[in-house]
Amino acid sequence: MTARGFWRGALLSLALIVSASFVGVFVLGGLGDASRSGGSSALITASLTSQDSLTAAAQLAAGQTLFVENCSSCHGIGAEGGTRAPQLLSVGSATIDLWLSSGWMPLAEPTVQPEQKPAKFDRAEVLEIVKYVTSLAPTAPGNPSIPFEVNISKADVAEGFSLFALNCAPCHTITGAGDALADGVSAPPLHGVTKTMVWEAIRSGPGNMPRFGPGTISPAQVIDIVGYVVKDIQHPSSPGGISLGGVGPVAEGFIGLFVGVGLTLLAALWVGDRNEQEEDEGDDGAEGTDGDGHGGVQHGELAHV
């Protein structure tokens, strides 16, 4: 291949890779987000209902088995914690339920930031583990328990929007798209999470997320926020068209440039002329005339310049 051919090929491939990755990252990334969140179908209504009773001995035994098999290698056989994982003895049922239902726990690999993925355990198993661990030691005061039912029928979404903008948007973005924090951790997107998970996350402050107790955000306010997240974060009003992942001007800029200016440039290529081929055939005179010999006026005739 000629050197020129090599450069052209390299440039073309680079341009293709760059544009494809940008398009992919920003347009499809928004869609990819929804699938990355683990699929809400895997998460059944995660509230506590009256059918879940907390004292059956058989459930405790099942919970112990699951805990020993899946959690004790990092969290210790008695849930006392260690160098790799915190203790679970006093954290409260809401916290354990949140981490298991979201699929953050068990970690895919021991050293990776917890990522939301399809929960490993089904609802019954989660509750068994929760019951077992909370039976090992009393929950510290202030640590939240699994809510009986997160009822958002009375949620004031307008209040929830205002509270969300103040407390949640600085990390999760105002559209709930999630974003990167420092040192490799990130605030996850809020699509594909259940209302119980949102409630539990606000109250228990998992990982780097701050903890918003009842003195900071009242119970009614938490319901408002949960209502807003479930309704308008997860199903935003998008009458204007494709929402481009909810990251705002970054994606809009790429579309405006590559699609907008790109399409108009293509139109210009069609409407306008191209530069001629450099003459290599030497048929100068013949091209200028048609059959009748009426040529274009020779361009030397600019006497009136």
Partner 1 sequence: MIDALFNWFDVRLGISGSSRKLVNKIFPDHWSFMIGEIALYSFIVLLGTGVFLTLYFVPSSKDVIYHGSYAPLRGQPMSEAFASTVNLSFAVRGGLLMRQMHHWAANIFVGSIVVHMLRIFFTGAFRKPRELNWIIGSTMLILAIFNGFLGYSLPDDLVSGTGIRISFSIVESIPLIGSYMAFFLFGGNFPGTAIIPRFFILHVLILPAVIVGLLSAHLGMLVRQKHTQFAGRGKTERNVVGVPLWPNFAAKSGGFMLLTTGVTGFLSAVFQINPIWLYGPYVPYKVSYAVQPDWYMGWLDGALRIMPSWEIVGFGHMIPNAFFPAILLPGITFGVLQMWPFIEAKLTHDYADHQILDRPRDRPKRTAFGAAVFAFYFVLFGASATDVLANYLSVSLNVVLTSFRYLIFIVPAIVYPVAYQICKELQRVPNAGQRKRANIVLRSADGGYSTVPSEPRPGDAVVRMDPLPLDEDIELVPAMAGVLVMADGGIGAQAASLDGPSEETLQPGADEGGERRRGGIFKIPRDYR
Partner 2 sequence: MSENTDGTTGSPEAKDPSLRVRIPVSSARPDAPQFRVAAKNPRRAELLAASGFLVAAAGFAGFGASYWQNYSSFWLSITFTVGFIGLGYGLVVWGKYLMPQGPFEEARHSLAPSANEREVFIEDFASRGKVAVERRGLLVKTLGLASGVLGVVLAFPLLRSLGPLPKKTLAQTAWRKGSYLVDISGRKIKPADIDVGGFITVFPPDDIGGAYSQTMLIHVDPMKSGYLPPPPQFTKQRATWAPLGYIAFSKLCTHAGCPVGLYEELTERMLCPCHQSVFVVRDAAIPVFGPAPRPLPQLPLYIDEDGYFRAQDGYDEPVGPGYWERGSD
Residue ranges in contact with partner 2 by CB under 8 A = 142, 166, 169-171, 179, 181-183, 185, 205, 207-213, 215-216, 239-241, 270-271, 289-290, 292, 294-297, 299, 302, 304-305
**Among partner 2, partner 1, none, residue 41 binds (CB under 5-8 Å by kind):** none
Q: Per residue in 82-102, is it b (16+ CB within 10 Å) or e — as a string?
A: eeebeebbbbbbbbbbbbbbb
Of residues 26 and 67, the one with the C-beta less far from partner 1: 26
**Among partner 1, partner 2, none, residue 99 binds (CB under 5-8 Å by kind):** none
Of residues 214 and 253, the one with the C-beta less far from partner 2: 214
Q: Exactly one of 147, 160, 192, 206 binds partner 1 (CB under 8 A); which one?
A: 160
* Preceding omega of 106 cis (within 30 degrees of 0): yes
**Alpha carbons 133 and 79: distance in angstroms, whole number:** 7
Using the structure block, give the residue that is written with the tokens 């030397």.
300
The answer to whether 173 contacts partner 1 (rule: CB under 8 A) is yes
- Report the 3 state secondary structure along 91-149: CCHHHHHHHHHCCCCCCCCCCCCCCCCCCCCCHHHHHHHHHHHHHHCCCCCCCCCCCCC
Closest separation in Å from C-beta 267 to partner 1: 5
Closest separation in Å from C-beta 177 to partner 1: 6
Of residues 56 and 242, the one with the C-beta less far from partner 1: 242
Of residues 100 and 251, the one with the C-beta less far from partner 1: 251
197 contact partners, CB below 8 Å, separation of at least 6: 43, 46, 98, 101, 102
The pair phi, psi for residue 48, each rounded to 5°, is -80, 130
Q: Which of 180, 197, 185 is nearest to 234 (CA)?
A: 197
- Binders of partner 1 among residues 184 to 243 (CB under 8 A) are 184, 186-187, 228, 231-232, 236-243
Q: Exactly one of 13, 166, 208, 218 binds partner 1 (CB under 8 A); which one?
A: 166
Q: Which two tokens stand for residue 278?
A: 């450099």
**Among partner 1, partner 2, none, residue 278 binds (CB under 5-8 Å by kind):** partner 1
Of residues 199 and 212, the one with the C-beta less far from partner 2: 212
**Alpha carbons 20 and 252: distance in angstroms, whole number:** 16
By CB under 8 A, the count of residues binding partner 1 is: 86
CA dihedral 29, 34, 39, 40 (to 10 degrees): 170
Of residues 57 and 112, the one with the C-beta less far from partner 2: 112
61 contact partners, CB below 8 Å, separation of at least 6: none
- Binders of partner 1 among residues 6 to 35 (CB under 8 A) are 7, 11, 25-26, 29
Stretch that binds partner 1, among 45-53, 95-103, 131-139, 274-282 (CB under 8 A): 274-282
